[in-house]
Chains A and B, each alone.
Chain A
């Protein structure tokens, strides 16, 4: 069993390797906020235990054993973060500290239960990939927002700083993993980046922009100017639309789906008097819908016939 401090070192090296960065005594000292001599001392202790290999020019590498330990720690950390946000109502700026404490108290059995419970999840709340058991996972390729070349839409992939203060700042800017922003270029004067979000312009300072990892957005990520979904009640008789979403009580949703009202299906409004119930035609069946129910059936206009 190794102590918590050693574990922190292993984790830090593991994270750097994940990013495809080289771990060195100086980069470790920076990321852990400790002095160079203490890093050197710790690396020596870890290499005696056969967990890291010390190479030339301060380069440090995990051995196979070290990697296994590091991956497990990273995995536990991210699983706990995901769990806390999802099930216990923590916000994403509160969970890093909690997870740091929990990861050390987590047995392999608990780790596996958590992983199976959260099987549908791929990333932690900050956008980092959750490793699979025992095997390292390369981080999704991404560049800091501060280094993004030229104007264009970008998708936020992950956040490199998990301190509460930093994340709260991002919350204020409404930036989180998965969000698509329009980067308008770096200002040479102070290195800050101008971005457009939902039609509003923000100036993201350099020290923030360099810790937001982004990727050029794919076309499907970019919100277009196409009409947003409207309630089917907005459609006039003989107008058609494509079902975008439906909500409401469970049995209402289940009944709609069994009658063929699934997202993607084409609906045609047969009768809509502006008040009272509607008749829609979907997949060759006519369905009568109460007005309040129809308001929960969202469609994208497809045009009249």
Chain B
């Protein structure tokens, strides 16, 4: 019977693999646009699923979070492991990088120990060839006892063979797996002793022997489950036994690594022409203490230039066409309809949410740049170079990655901080992430500085970014010095091989992030636009008499210190829901969208430069948007830290706003 002879129904396939093995590329190649991105139930880890149909068989793929081992060192690794063990997919396909097989076989070894139905995806064989390494798939297959499929996912090669192998394993057409990597007598004795201390009928959601080994490896999640299942005294005994044998992990992992080294020696052939990869030469500069930082600054500058040099003209066009143009068309089409209805559609919907949508091109450029840097392997170098500086403010290089994402949007920065393992460093990263100048705020800053400062606009924008980063550094330092004092942070990170960008993956990631933003604009931001429209149209007829106007005027004494009138305060308040809303609100309040005057011109008519600088400074440091706050609450699992973030940002923003306005006025910008 051939592999494709048995088919039909749905096969659940889990895609496992370490980070940087091209796992996402395999996933994209297989599932294309059928992907669904969400969250694991009850967890804060991204869940990607997708399907692929061949004949009458549907393959349902779950892209597991990248993990180096089956020990739960991070929420990602725990999620991946629990899915494999508890949800029991029909087949686990583990993606390994042929160019660094030795490192990848560790996870394969653990999966073999677990005894799950396994297919090994030997990916990036082209990269390995280029580096002068030839991996013999046949030899690997006979060494592992499970099917090995060579692929080049970037070119879609080997995908059909992969599906064949998955089907063959799912329908039990393959040989039984090879014997497990052997455990030494010492480890065996430890496992038996530990087993003797546990009741034989102890109910655990893991295979017993496997759980015992993991316990000896110091797995926290399993220790937690064990503690729950045992009596206090029973656990105390187990705990002291484990503490005594803390070194067992060296023995256990050492045995695996030995097996890995032997296996890879048998299947990897190094050719004579093995040469220094281009990446290593690039790293001489990119990881250099000075050159690396300069290179990083250059990269950041290029991204900003692309965002504002290329993105802004497109945004302006969209603004003319989408916001002003369609508002006019709408008004002429709806002639005779009630004024309130026309105003709702033109000011509330188009002038609010529509305006925010015009920023999609700018965000798309940013998301594209980030995805590209991540894909080619540069991000890890950036983290390495930044570790020296991050270390000084109490953070580690790893925190740089999520914080950097914060340039796009604070929400992925907060969610991305999960890659930071130590609790204290992770909390610090989350609490300062809202200080990253996100694209939403940059939109406001760009608009204001262009309107008020002409040629110096870039300088003003740059100063604002610098100010935020300085406040961020100060806060991180204070938090690590006084709040999380004495808590250890650790920095261990793989530097992946550089490789040519895989545009499919890059574009897919960009598309997913852009889509999330558009969805946000269509829901939360639209809702706020409508609420703001309602608040500014009711109860009175004019804005002065509306609910919003009344709140704004109530707060005017405070605003006065920063040179802000009630309209600005209202705009600031609505930025709580989404930073971009400041513009939408100003558009609604100032009646942009009808008439010939655009928002920039209107702004220069209603405020002085000193107030404008104060306003954008306050805007930059103001409380996080609702989406960020929701993310903070979720990641810290604490209302206290969420409240703390709101409190400290509110205090800093007003203090800075007052200082800037007063100083700018003395400098003569108050007219």
Interface assignment of B490: CB less than 8 Å from any CB of chain A: yes
Fill in one digit per residue for B415-436: 1 if any A CB lies within 8 Å of its CB, else 0. 0000001000000000000000
Q: Is B59 an interface residue (CB 8 A)?
A: no
Q: Is B257 an interface residue (CB 8 A)?
A: yes
B388: Cβ under 8 A from any A Cβ? yes
Q: Which residues of A contact B383 (CB under 8 A)?
A: 288
Interface residues as binary, A227-265 with B (CB distance below 8 Å gives 1, 0 otherwise) = 000000000000000000110111111111111101111
Instruction: Kindly list chain B residues whose C-beta atoms are within 8 Å of the C-beta of A276.
Output: 289, 387-388, 391
User: Do A250 and B387 touch across chains, with their CB atoms under 8 A apart?
Assistant: no
Q: Is the CB of A283 within 8 A of B103?
A: yes
Question: Once the chains bind, are A285 and B492 in contact (CB under 8 Å)?
Answer: no
Asked if B171 lies at the interface with its beta carbon under 8 angstroms from chain A, I say no
CB <8 Å contact, B196 and A262: no
Residue of A nearest to B383 (CB): A288
Please tell me if the beta carbons of B196 and A119 are within 8 angstroms of each other in the complex: yes
Bound together, the chains give a CA A175 to CA B262 distance in angstroms of: 40
- The answer to whether A42 has its CB under 8 Å from any CB of chain B is no
Q: Does A287 contact B (CB under 8 A)?
A: yes
**B630 contacts A by Cβ under 8 Å:** no
How far, in angstroms, from A159 to B310 measured CA to CA in the complex? 83
Provide the residues of chain B in CB contact with A290, threshold 8 Å: 387, 391, 396-397, 489-492
Contact B490 A254 (CB under 8 A): no
Q: Does B193 contact A (CB under 8 A)?
A: yes
Specify which of A86, A119, A258, A277 is in contact with B69 (CB 8 Å cutoff). A258
Contacts of A289 in B (CB 8 A): 491-492
Task: State in angstroms the CA–CA spacing of A259 and B241 once bound together.
Answer: 27
Q: Which residues of the other chain, B, contact A254 by a CB distance below 8 angstroms?
A: 69, 71, 73, 217-219, 249, 253
- B494 at the A interface (CB under 8 A): yes
Within 8 Å of chain A (Cβ to Cβ): is B500? no
Main SS of the interface on chain A? Answer: mixed
Q: Which residue of B lies closest to A274 (CB)?
A: B289
**Contact assessment for B249 and A257 in the assembled complex, using a CB-CB cutoff below 8 Å:** yes
Partner of A287, one of B249, B489, B495: B495
Chain B interface residue count, CB cutoff 8 Å, equals: 55
Q: Is A204 an interface residue (CB 8 A)?
A: no
Partner-binding segment picked from B2-10, B184-192, B581-589: B184-192
Question: Is the pair A271, B287 in contact by a Cβ cutoff of 8 Å?
Answer: yes
With contacts A253-B218, A288-B380 taken as known, whether A293 is within 8 angstroms of B254 at the C-beta atoms is no
Instruction: Find the B residue at minimum CB distance from A262.
Output: B257
Q: Interface readout for A20-34 with B: 1 if CB under 8 Å, 0 if not?
A: 000000000000000
With contact pairs A254-B217, A276-B391, A279-B495 given, residues A262 and B396 touching in the complex (Cβ less than 8 Å): no
Report Cα–Cα, A262/B253, bound state, in Å.
7
A interface bracket (residues with beta carbon within 8 Å of B): 35 or more
B426 → chain A, closest Cβ, in Å?
Answer: 12
Among A252, A257, A275, A293, chain B packs the most CB atoms within 10 A around the CB of A257
Given A254-B218, A262-B257: A116 in contact with B193 (beta carbons within 8 A): yes
* CA distance in complex: A260, B396 (Å): 22
B249 engages A253 (CB within 8 Å): yes
Known: A117-B193, A285-B100. Contact between A252 and B492, CB under 8 A?
yes
Pick the residue among B192, B246, B253, B380 that contacts A257 (CB under 8 A): B253
Residues of B within 8 A of A283 (CB): 102-103, 257, 260-261
Which partner residue on chain B sits nearest A273 by CB separation?
Answer: B289
Check: A284 CB closer than 8 A to any chain B CB: yes
Chain A hits for B258, CB < 8 A: 264
Residues of A within 8 A of B192 (CB): 116, 119
1/0 per residue B235-261: CB within 8 Å of A?
001001100111001100110011011
B384 at the interface (CB under 8 A from A): yes
Q: Which residue from chain A places its CB closest to the CB of B74 in the assembled complex? A: A251
Residue of A256, A277, A283, A293 with highest tally of chain B CB at under 10 A: A277
The smallest C-beta distance from B540 to any residue of chain A, in angstroms, reads 60
Q: Are A260 and B102 in contact (CB under 8 A)?
A: yes
Contact A293 B490, beta carbon cutoff 8 Å: yes
> Does the CB pair A119–B253 fall under 8 Å?
no
- CB-CB < 8 A to A255: which residues of B? 68, 73, 421, 490, 492
* Interface flag for A3 (CB, 8 Å): no
Q: Which residues does chain A contribute within 8 Å of B100, judged by CB atoms?
A: 284-285
| Residue B197 at the chain A interface, CB threshold 8 Å | yes
User: In the docked arrangement, what's the CA distance between A201 and B8, Å?
Assistant: 80
Contact A119 B189 (CB under 8 A): yes
**Cα-based distance from A293 to B249 in the complex (angstroms):** 18
State whether A251 touches B421 (Cβ < 8 A). yes
Q: Which residue of B lies closest to A287 (CB)?
A: B494
Alpha-carbon distance A252/B107, docked complex (angstroms): 17
Say yes or no: B68 contacts A120, CB within 8 Å. no
Partner of B68, one of A86, A250, A258, A288: A258
A117 touches B241 (CB 8 A): yes
Check A38 for interface membership: any CB of B closer than 8 A: no
A163 located at the interface, meaning its Cβ lies under 8 Å from any Cβ of chain B in the complex = no
Interface members, chain A 269-305 (any B CB < 8 Å): 270-271, 273, 275-277, 279, 283-290, 293
B493 an interface residue at 8 Å Cβ cutoff? yes
Taking the closest CB of chain B, its distance from the CB of A300, in whole angstroms, is 16
Nearest CB of chain B from residue A267's CB, rounded to whole Å? 13
**Are A116 and B421 in touch, CB under 8 angstroms?**
no
Expressed in whole angstroms, the Cα–Cα distance for A205 and B565 within the complex equals 95
CB distance from A295 to the nearest CB of B (A): 12
Contacts of B260 in A (CB 8 A): 260, 283
A288 touches which of B197, B244, B421, B492 (Cβ 8 Å): B492
Question: Is B272 close to A, CB under 8 A?
Answer: no
A245 proximity list for chain B (CB < 8 A): 250
B566 within 8 A of A: no
Tell me the complex Cα distance, A284–B107, Å.
Answer: 16
B407 close to A (CB within 8 Å): no
Contact yes or no, A288 B387, CB < 8 A: yes
Selected contact of B106 from candidates A86, A249, A258, A286, CB within 8 Å: A258
Q: Give the residues in chain A near B261, CB-CB below 8 Å.
A: 283
Q: Return B321 CB to nearest CB of chain A, in Å.
A: 47
Inside 8 A of B101's CB, which chain A residues have their CB? Answer: 284
Question: Are A117 and B218 CB-contacts (below 8 A) given A259-B103, A290-B491?
Answer: no
* B220 contacts A by Cβ under 8 Å: yes
Provide the residues of chain A in CB contact with B69, threshold 8 Å: 254, 257-258
Contact of A264 among B71, B244, B254 (CB under 8 A): B254
B488 in contact (CB, < 8 A): yes
Collect the chain B residues with CB atoms within 8 Å of residue A113's CB: 196
CB of A118 within 8 Å of the partner chain: yes
B218 touching A285, Cβ below 8 Å:
no
* CB <8 Å contact, B196 and A116: yes
Q: Given A117-B193, A254-B71, does the pair A259, B254 have CB atoms closer than 8 Å?
A: no
B257 touches A120 (CB 8 A): no
| Closest residue on chain B to residue A254 by CB atoms | B71
B287 lies within 8 A of A279 (CB): yes
Please state if A248 and B490 are interface contacts (CB–CB under 8 Å). yes
Residue of A nearest to B244 (CB): A86
Q: How far is B69's CA from A256's CA once the two chains are assembled, in angstroms?
A: 11
Q: Is the CB of B287 within 8 A of A252?
A: no
Contact yes or no, A259 B494, CB < 8 A: yes
**B-chain residues with CB within 8 Å of residue A249 when the two chains form the complex:** 488, 490
Task: Say whether B190 contacts A120, CB under 8 Å.
Answer: yes
What residues of B have a CB within 8 angstroms of the CB of A260 in the complex? 102-103, 106, 257, 260
Q: Is the CB of A288 within 8 A of B493?
A: yes
Q: How far is the CA of A249 from the CA of B219 in the complex (A)?
A: 12
Asked if A87 and B245 make an inter-chain contact with CB atoms under 8 angstroms apart, the answer reads: no
For the complex, give the distance between the alpha carbons of A116 and B254 in Å: 25
Q: Which residues of A contact B220 (CB under 8 A)?
A: 250-251
A-B contact pairs, 23 of them (CB 8 A): A87-B244, A119-B189, A248-B490, A249-B488, A250-B249, A252-B490, A255-B492, A258-B69, A259-B68, A260-B102, A262-B257, A263-B254, A270-B283, A276-B387, A284-B101, A285-B494, A286-B494, A288-B383, A288-B494, A289-B491, A290-B489, A290-B490, A290-B492
In the A-B complex, the 9 residue pairs with the smallest Cβ-Cβ separation, listed nearest first, are A290-B491, A257-B253, A258-B69, A116-B196, A119-B193, A258-B68, A286-B495, A250-B218, A276-B388
